[in-house]
Amino acid sequence: MTESANKAKLWVKGCRIIDPVNRVDEIRDVYVEEGVYVDDPGTAFRESARCIDATGLCLAPSLTDLQVHLREPGDTHKETIRTGTQAAAKGGFTRVVCMPNTRPPCDNPGNLRLIHDIIERDACIEVYPTGCITVGSAGEQLAPIGSLKNAGAIALSDGGHCIQNSELMRRALEYARMLDMVVLDHCQDTSLTQKAVMHEGVWSLKLGLRGWPAEAEDLMVSRDVILSEKTGARVHLQNITSGSAVDIIQRAKNRGVKVTAEVTPHHLSLTDACVAGYESRFKMNPPLRTEEDRRRLIEGLCSGVIDCIACDHAPHNEDDKDMEFDYAPFGVIGLETAFGVVLTHLHHEEGISLIQILEWMSSAPDRILGLAPKSITEGVPADFILFDPAEDWEVKKDGFLSISRNSPWIGRSLKGRVRATYLKGREVYGG
């Protein structure tokens, strides 16, 4: 048996299988041949296969993230497609959706093809680029949406920008409906957030910082719901942080409106009180909200109003973040810590099952994109993670694979860690 043939066969022994698609939670062995799962192929296979003793570990479908800023082309001093996908693999992700607000922005087929070329050359996992809704993400003129789809854009987004012109947004949704594309929208009424740097509330008053009202989110969530209902287009609402927005989405779903929504690990676990020390690693867009909002987000996830978790990985280098809170850029990294944060705060503290967490971080994002959800099923590509749900570990500044270090978790302990990530049976991360 040749070495390459041995590598094509994998026997994962004694693992706890957690599969949200098939609703499976059981201990058994897993077999992989030529990148796909196979049923027990017998003694001869086991004798020639690479064997991994996974006793005490969980094996689950790998994760998918719907909102990642990989910064390339343009700001490669903050992140690149190579380093960003390495960070994603370390965090358990084998599929990520990259936002189009690069430099130059991904608002035409030529720039999209450039990104595809870099992905093919440098990415260690699957990367799905989005195309801009408007030219330059400026919110003034529609981008060539049909050409972007033909060039391979999986969805439409203006990245961290929200189209303020509702007529323009309506036309974008009409085109998206015709092309059967989902629109990913960052909901923010900018007329209410000029020079705002944190949530408007008790803490903004105490700290003397300009407040960012939750109503800025609520208004645009309402607008998108109305336009989705009018056009029949699929709208995915990014970075939901407001408890009131959860209520708006719930009423929309009760009427059958085609909206889905996500929440980030940091908004599920942190609040505006974290800003008390004026540390810019807690400055993000949208901002951290109140404890009441945080509880409503968790309730929204558990009730199915919010569909999934996405990390909004937004790298910034240390020089950019190391300045007064008012002037530091918004954004935090999250790919390498997302799963640990969610396990710590939702599984260990809230008692939410692992199978439900994997639904939010794997199969639900896949369905929103229109991709076949990953599962532990014969004949399906072997995209999986091995993780220890009980491992305690400290987030260290020098432990990231990402170029940037703007993490709110540095110095904190998390419980639950990815040990290895596999894409089509090939190890892309092993820690």
Task: List the beta bridge partners of residue 427.
Answer: 422
- The pLDDT value recorded for residue 40 is 86
- 270-296 average pLDDT score: 98
Extract the tokens encoding 316: 């910034």
| CATH architecture for the domain at 3-59+379-396+413-430 | Roll (2.30)
- The pLDDT value recorded for residue 2 is 36
Q: What are phi and psi of 396, to 5 degrees?
A: -115, 145
Task: List the beta bridge partners of residue 64.
Answer: 95
Is the backbone peptide bond immediately before 373 cis, with ω within 30 degrees of 0?
no
Report whether pLDDT(399) > 90: yes
Portion of the chain with pLDDT greater than 90, in percent? 97
- 356-385 average pLDDT score: 97
Q: Is 132:109 a contact under the CB 8 Å cutoff?
A: no
DSSP, collapsed to helix, strand or coil, labels residue 80 as coil
Report whether pLDDT(173) > 90: yes
Q: What is the fold of 62-369?
A: TIM Barrel (3.20.20)
Alpha helix locations (H) across 180-214? 202-207
**pLDDT class for 7, splitting at 50, 70, 90?**
low
Q: What is the pLDDT of residues 129-140, one digit of tens each?
A: 999 999 999 999
- 39-46 average pLDDT score: 90
Measured distance CA(431)–CA(420) in Å, rounded: 6
312 in catalytic set: yes
Measured distance CA(230)–CA(167) in Å, rounded: 12
- 368-387 average pLDDT score: 96
Measured distance CA(49)–CA(45) in Å, rounded: 6
What average pLDDT does the structure give for the chain? 96
Measured distance CA(419)–CA(90) in Å, rounded: 8
Tell me the residue length of the chain: 431
Q: What is the pLDDT of residues 49-98, one digit of tens each?
A: 999 999 999 999 999 999 999 999 999 999 999 999 999 999 999 999 99
Domains of the chain, by residue range, sit at 3-59+379-396+413-430, 62-369
- 34-44 average pLDDT score: 93
Extract the tokens encoding 387: 């993780």
Extract the tokens encoding 125: 């996992």
Report whether pLDDT(394) > 80: yes
Report whether pLDDT(3) > 80: no
- The pLDDT value recorded for residue 5 is 41
- 311-327 average pLDDT score: 95
User: What torsion, rounded to 10 degrees, do the Cα atoms 66, 297, 204, 223 define?
Assistant: 70
- The pLDDT value recorded for residue 6 is 45
- The pLDDT value recorded for residue 8 is 82
Q: Of the residues 224, 293, 312, 383, which is catalytic?
A: 312
